[in-house]
Structure 1
């Protein structure tokens, strides 16, 4: 007999109800989106009266999760950036010079001097070339093992000689390890900067060896996104040697010449070694100084605060340069000992500039500069066109399938259509629960799912037809129809689910969006075909008790 236990019926309808409940907010997308934004602002302590009003647009007891719209649906910015890895090698070698210099002097190899080069290496000229072997041994003692699985047992430095020139470079194993660290850090910094700006569901992923793909829905333009993430935000604090009006001022190897951001035509000669760097920062926030001008307040960690305090105590009356990305943004004179590890950056800033600077400093500095190879701004009107086209495709596919099922299977086709409507609702409910991003390929996955969703029902109904032709009774025909079609349904959907999984794991961006909706659609389709449609048929059969049925 056709029997489904009461507890199973409750579970099936409960799952359907929960899925449709979580899908409900998407039917009121603008209202729920405003509600979510308002609550986020209120929780962050920056809520406005308008936010308080928007917080009442949606009942608190209902779910408020939405299916996030991707770049091609919402509009936004697309960037492809290349990370300058060679710059990291050069900085690493430049930073090794004091250590190499001290080691060679302690080893008594005679007079030495650094020779500048564009190869990202450290070159040291020895006045006594006969001591080259000794010098190479001393430098090799400074090397360390490479800390990656691929570089086990290898040194991080390669030390060679060319006449009286000692050459120090990173080994290939260390370069690979450095590349991985640099790309990982760059990805994390970019992600923190984008998240701090309050954008939704950005796509930030590595492409190839030295490129990063950045797609941010909802942001105004590619130029705005470049401004947000393009700056390395390398903050350093340097002692000032002197001011000058010449950009060709001669400086030695231990000094730097940087332009002033506020004073046009003015340059500062600074000591190359900073007192503290942005790596010691713990917080940065936009504020106003004592004169009511926009500024950025900052706080150092314990180590940075101690170094900052000691330097200010010992150099009262001396100028002190604050450098951001090789520009002196401020050079105040130290008036007194600054303890507590906090300070304020002032200058001719606007509120927008101080807010931007605070975001960059909080997110941290990029380990290397990025070059933007590709940039696109996708307007919201183009995204709306995609939404409209996707909506039309879904409606046409949906109506076509509904009409076909009714014409082909009559009353049973109506039952399949009810399950199909529930199926689409469950897809959006799952997407909302997982916080997934819907893209145009994702809409294609939903359209494909609509067509595939009735496949299982078609298999069952055709098996029921065959059993009816074999003179089976209605009850037995329905039971055998589901029993004999089950293996075919499971096999067909498992193979498709495996394909969707491979697409998700191996693909990226739009391919993943398609794979997610396809995979979720397969799961909900099997559930609605095997359980929901069957339950509807059983309930109908219990109520009508027909002597014969037509499929």
Structure 2
């Protein structure tokens, strides 16, 4: 009775907590209804882009306001309410997901005070290269690279120059100790970058963002459901927000002469390299008049120089520098050196950083480009041209004033009506800013440059000292750009640079389609299982149904409270959990039916049936949790969510089926005096099974050997259809508005994408998945465009050529929000680094899962024969399942690519197979212990026969729900479901015909009579 009271207490508590979790939906829906009404009244529409923007704006405006209060307990904002509910992943809601790599390369450079030591740079480059194919973290790789190259030089000589490290690193500190300290500093930086990024994302205004840190791999996963401007989100996430203030150096005749000499020097160097006579090269002489233009009130015009006198000596062509950099000839401010095309900026900087060229210019000069190109003039020129500024840097090499002194940042109009970012500084920042502006004003004709992430966003003229610690930045900002910049500056700059190595964007229409198909699968699968339990177990089936319903309620409540994001694989996990949750009921009910057939009363049969089932249920579910835990540790994004769902589902099913189920059965039996555990059609099914299973072991060994060899041959010869997760590249799902074959599309795309893309038909009409590795390793801009924009334009060009639809615009094609016409519904990018990392993680996950199961069974069954049988059976199931995929991809009408979801399916097959095998092993151990008068063959055959009903029932219900998932789950989940179907069938077979015969062959007659059961694991209820 005491045990029952404790279970009732926990049941009531769990129900109350879960119901409270669900009740948060009510005030949340009220707020969202207000948002709907606001958007409808503002736009006069109930859908469309304008409606969505207005709705999102309303929710953003109240996201941090109190909208609900629990009396005497707590108040909640809209964001708080959403955090209490189950969030939908990108594949169900649409949005953007990125995996960001924390760039520790620049971090180490900063710690080393930007040393120019060549060995240090070589080690950094080698570590970056090794990181693409290695398991170790970047700091360890850097340490290895340094040891290989450094000779007698110590790391301490590099890092002891940093004042912040001198108390930890001295000149005699060993390299190993320096690496340990660097690892600690790197871990702190990664954690701080993660924390600050989370704060920054809160400012982005996305409802229910999901941000998680993989500290072992220095990766940050960000999911932004419902985000409608991926470009804005991308910039927001990666902006370092390194704000600096500099004095400027006005160009004068000396600067002009230095430019001329630099151009001539570079030209002579090119001529010598080409074997030409450089003495014939002529020069251009430019004389600068330093009188600047003023307006009618005598104020300086910083965007105009009064006159430049130019005297040319005849010359055939401009030199290397002047061919790409046009010197300032009076059109721009006095600190502007010249202008250049966007794609020439890097080359100009390389020329100016040349040691011989750099000596021609002032030692305190540095050069920075404007952040945005010049505006077009009336004729539509100059186009993609950027201004190059000459700034003054103090002797220490650092900006005199940085964003660290900024205490507050906001956006708003300035007195002239321009959009501005307004800054307030602390006392030290105010003092430095007052000194800088005073010196600039006293010098006359002077500007100060405001630099963000090494680009000049504004270079205002200083008319007088600014002593209040407040200033504003103007720079042709839009309202949104100013707001984003103010938010970033308010939070602070990120400690380390972030690089996007994986990206996925899903349109809302695709998410809605996935929800419909998933809910259909969930409802049908659940309904079929309920109907079957009623048909097969009668009254006990009602208890199983209530247990399953409670199981679902607890699963969704627990996932919401844990902040889990529900994805398509997560829904698959819930469906799989339903099938596997029936397993505990089946084990118990089949055992009760056995006890009833021996003539026991219902009360005795229930008591013995439950108590004799606990050991089996614990063993079966522990092995499943081991696999799910490995998936949760190694998986990313949706796969991690699938693992969490599986763990929660297993725990909930054990609680509801074993403990709550026992309460309900006992109550029924005590009140009614009876309970049925069968119906007339099912009463005698599998009741008198008597098969010599071991007679078939040599045949099964032969059949399995052939299947395994054929599978290995298929894997080695055909290989796998590797998804973008494992090979890297860009992946697009494209919907066409006309009939077109994959070959026609492939032919038109091969040229623009600089190679043959992989094209697969998706299960809906005229929908194709297109994968290309074009520019996937490119990180810098190409002709002023981001690589993903160049790839999209190439894809658009090929699609237009294939369809002949010249009226289709690039904007329409790339609009994932569209619900008609030819357009992209989803896009993802996986860089080579993350692809290699995913492959390594998959191998480690499989190996660790198998090792964990082997060790558990070794301890649990106190003998290697059971562990050996189980592991051989698992290898058998895994190889055959993978072999089917290798043999069948390409000619079956659905996607069979190997990706993270496939790895999750393989590990789930391992978990299910071992679940099935453990049930058989448990009964074999019981028979070996309790039927010592029989020979081992008879004992094992009888043990297997006694579990046939459970094996058939569990496999049938699990196959039922997985088959429904396969039929109705949508294109993106079919491969996952097919792998599970194959694995369940093969796993059921191997438990009886592979694992069991191996145990038989490894057990002698004397050993069979000495097997001891584990200590009693029953629960007193």
TM-score band by shorter chain is: 0.7 to 0.9
Q: Aligned to 1:509, which of 621, 624, 637?
A: 637
Map of 2:367 onto structure 1? 257
Tell whether the 8 Å contact from 1:146 to 1:177 is kept in structure 2 after alignment. no
* Structure 1: tracts of 5 or more residues without a match: 48-54, 98-113, 122-136, 158-170
2:336 counterpart of 1:244: yes
1:445-484 to structure 2, matched below 5 A, reads 445-484=573-612
2:320 counterpart of 1:300: no
* Cα distance in structure 2, aligned partners of 1:440 and 1:152: 55
Q: Aligned to 2:434, which of 309, 316, 340?
A: 309
* Cα distance in structure 1, aligned partners of 2:591 and 2:230: 56
Q: Aligned to 1:154, which of 174, 182, 186?
A: 174
The more displaced of 478-487 and 263-272 is: 263-272
* Cα distance in structure 2, aligned partners of 1:262 and 1:439: 39
Q: Aligned to 1:72, which of 59, 73, 91?
A: 91
Tell whether the 8 Å contact from 2:100 to 2:221 is kept in structure 1 after alignment. yes
1:140-219 to structure 2, matched below 5 A, reads 142=161, 153-154=173-174, 183-199=190-206, 200-205=208-213, 213-219=221-227
* Cα distance in structure 2, aligned partners of 1:476 and 1:416: 20
TM-score normalised according to structure 1 size = 0.76
Map of 1:326 onto structure 2? 454
2:64 counterpart of 1:44: yes
* Cα distance in structure 2, aligned partners of 1:139 and 1:512: 40
Map of 1:520 onto structure 2? 648
Map of 2:562 onto structure 1? 434
Deviation of 1:313 after TM superposition, in Å, equals 4.3
* Cα distance in structure 2, aligned partners of 1:91 and 1:308: 25
* Cα distance in structure 1, aligned partners of 2:216 and 2:87: 27
The more displaced of 63-72 and 4-13 is: 4-13
Deviation of 1:387 after TM superposition, in Å, equals 1.9
* Cα distance in structure 2, aligned partners of 1:209 and 1:10: 42
Map of 2:492 onto structure 1? 364
Deviation of 1:139 after TM superposition, in Å, equals 9.0
* Cα distance in structure 1, aligned partners of 2:475 and 2:523: 57
* Cα distance in structure 2, aligned partners of 1:426 and 1:139: 56
Deviation of 1:239 after TM superposition, in Å, equals 0.8
Map of 2:232 onto structure 1? 224
Task: Give CA deviations for 1:261-307 in whole Å, capped at 9, x if unaligned.
Answer: 57836543211242211122232121222334321122223432332
2:549 counterpart of 1:421: yes
* Cα distance in structure 1, aligned partners of 2:172 and 2:29: 55
The more displaced of 84-93 and 332-341 is: 84-93
Tell whether the 8 Å contact from 2:244 to 2:452 is kept in structure 1 after alignment. yes
Tell whether the 8 Å contact from 1:295 to 1:349 is kept in structure 2 after alignment. yes
Task: Give CA deviations for 1:89-123 in whole Å, capped at 9, x if unaligned.
Answer: 556666569xxxxxxxxxxxxxxxx99x98799xx
Q: Aligned to 1:412, which of 532, 540, 546?
A: 540
Q: CA RMSD in A?
A: 4.3
Deviation of 1:186 after TM superposition, in Å, equals 4.4
Q: What SS is found at the alignment partner of 2:441?
A: coil
Q: What SS is found at the alignment partner of 2:454?
A: coil
Task: Give CA deviations for 1:329-360 in whole Å, capped at 9, x if unaligned.
Answer: 22233344433433222333221111011122
* Cα distance in structure 1, aligned partners of 2:484 and 2:558: 36
CA pair 456-206 structure 1, distance change in 2 beyond 3 A = closer
* Cα distance in structure 2, aligned partners of 1:32 and 1:364: 31
Map of 1:22 onto structure 2? 21
2:242 counterpart of 1:234: yes
Map of 1:134 onto structure 2? none
Deviation of 1:524 after TM superposition, in Å, equals 1.1
Q: What SS is found at the alignment partner of 2:249?
A: strand
Q: Relative contact order, CA 8 A, sep 6+: which one is greater?
A: 1
* Cα distance in structure 2, aligned partners of 1:450 and 1:345: 58
Q: What SS is found at the alignment partner of 1:519?
A: helix
Tell whether the 8 Å contact from 2:111 to 2:162 is kept in structure 1 after alignment. no
CA pair 418-86 structure 1, distance change in 2 beyond 3 A = closer
Map of 2:391 onto structure 1? 270
Deviation of 1:395 after TM superposition, in Å, equals 1.7
Q: What SS is found at the alignment partner of 1:454?
A: helix
TM-score normalised according to structure 2 size = 0.43
Tell whether the 8 Å contact from 2:112 to 2:159 is kept in structure 1 after alignment. no
Tell whether the 8 Å contact from 1:323 to 1:330 is kept in structure 2 after alignment. yes
CA pair 222-375 structure 1, distance change in 2 beyond 3 A = farther
The more displaced of 525-534 and 358-367 is: 358-367
* Cα distance in structure 2, aligned partners of 1:508 and 1:267: 43
Tell whether the 8 Å contact from 2:112 to 2:161 is kept in structure 1 after alignment. no
The more displaced of 455-464 and 139-148 is: 139-148
Deviation of 1:544 after TM superposition, in Å, equals 2.6
* Cα distance in structure 1, aligned partners of 2:610 and 2:34: 45
Map of 1:128 onto structure 2? none
* Cα distance in structure 2, aligned partners of 1:549 and 1:204: 49
* Cα distance in structure 2, aligned partners of 1:64 and 1:262: 38
Map of 2:714 onto structure 1? none
Tell whether the 8 Å contact from 1:187 to 1:206 is kept in structure 2 after alignment. no
Map of 1:488 onto structure 2? 616
Tell whether the 8 Å contact from 1:201 to 1:437 is kept in structure 2 after alignment. no
CA pair 475-194 structure 1, distance change in 2 beyond 3 A = same
2:291 counterpart of 1:284: no
* Cα distance in structure 1, aligned partners of 2:634 and 2:166: 30
Q: What SS is found at the alignment partner of 2:657?
A: helix
Deviation of 1:477 after TM superposition, in Å, equals 1.9
The more displaced of 371-380 and 343-352 is: 371-380
Tell whether the 8 Å contact from 1:93 to 1:120 is kept in structure 2 after alignment. no
Deviation of 1:328 after TM superposition, in Å, equals 2.3
* Cα distance in structure 2, aligned partners of 1:143 and 1:343: 32
Task: Give CA deviations for 1:18-52 in whole Å, capped at 9, x if unaligned.
Answer: 324424666998667668997874463599xxxxx
Deviation of 1:518 after TM superposition, in Å, equals 0.8
CA pair 300-470 structure 1, distance change in 2 beyond 3 A = same
Greater radius of gyration (CA): 2
Tell whether the 8 Å contact from 2:371 to 2:455 is kept in structure 1 after alignment. yes
CA pair 388-120 structure 1, distance change in 2 beyond 3 A = same
CA pair 461-146 structure 1, distance change in 2 beyond 3 A = farther
* Cα distance in structure 2, aligned partners of 1:263 and 1:493: 62
Deviation of 1:420 after TM superposition, in Å, equals 0.5
Deviation of 1:215 after TM superposition, in Å, equals 3.5
Tell whether the 8 Å contact from 1:297 to 1:343 is kept in structure 2 after alignment. yes
Q: What SS is found at the alignment partner of 1:239?
A: strand
